[in-house]
Amino acid sequence: MSNTTILSEDLARLESLGLSPDRLPRHVAIIMDGNGRWARLRGAPRIVGHRRGIESVRATVEECRRLGMEQLTLYCLSVENWKRPPRELGFLMKLLRHFVVIERDELKEQDIRLTMIGRRSGLPDRVLGEIDRTIAETRDNRGMTLCLAVNYGGRTEIADAARRIAEAARLGAIDPSSIDEECFSSYLYTAGSPEPDLLIRTAGELRVSNFLLWQISYAEFYVTDVLWPDFRARNLHDAFLAYAARDRKFGGLPGTDSSAAIEAHRASPRG
């Protein structure tokens, strides 16, 4: 759990849902899918779905913070998304910039720390400038971490890490024979962050779409048919109920003490 305090009324609400704090995920990652489909079903342009999706982001961030999540990672823009029409990409950049500006004071008030993973190259300077400002102004917050995956790709991240390790080895800063999982993880964009316990995908698609390929090796998957613009706290609760019902063995045998397995995994260098 993060340093976020769960209020008594939220604990009571958790209990009414059949959940307890010790059965909640520590880190939730979400593939926010279905904005375009939501708009198409209403005969509207795709950008209308993206705009409505911001409401789901706000609702999800708020609920995760209230329930004491340590980190929430949202897949905002993949490296493959640059294939989309320029008008849509321009709107997405404008929406992202607007979000980090408008929500800046709220993030500070709620003690939420903003971070970003992904390649900076190719992103507009105005967007990066506002992201960097919000990151700087929330750096000392000690509540939940909100991580935005922007211009991100799992394969790109792994390739970038391999390139950096190779350069360090070339310079003699690292012994190739010492490279292990812990070492490799320290060169990823996500170095220092806990690995996701739960990966949620909306809109019913059954693929990971190049998201956190290294980090989700032991994550639990939850797929819902709900389109992202309709995703709210009740849908998050459904995902948490499904997660709490699973036996996380991390390679152990059925009947293994799952709580001990989870704590051992979280205490490992990778987590």
* Residues that are catalytic: 33, 81
Distances (CA, A) of 120 to 57, 99, 148, 151: 22, 18, 12, 7
What are the backbone dihedrals phi and psi of residue 22, each rounded to the nearest 5 degrees, phi first? Answer: -75, -5
Composition of the chain by helix, strand, coil, percent to 5: 50, 15, 40
Backbone φ/ψ region at 147: left (φ over 0), alpha (ψ -120 to 50), beta: beta
Two structure tokens written together for 182: 């812990």
Helix (H) or strand (E) holding 190: none
Contact 115, 145 (CB under 8 A): yes
Q: Report the alpha-carbon distance of residue 151 to residue 48 in Å, rounded.
A: 21
3-class secondary-structure state, position 38: helix
User: How wide is the angle at C-alpha 152 spanned by C-alphas 222 and 124, nearest 5°?
Assistant: 135
Q: Report the alpha-carbon distance of residue 184 to residue 186 in Å, rounded.
A: 5
User: How wide is the angle at C-alpha 208 spanned by C-alphas 195 and 63, nearest 5°?
Assistant: 55
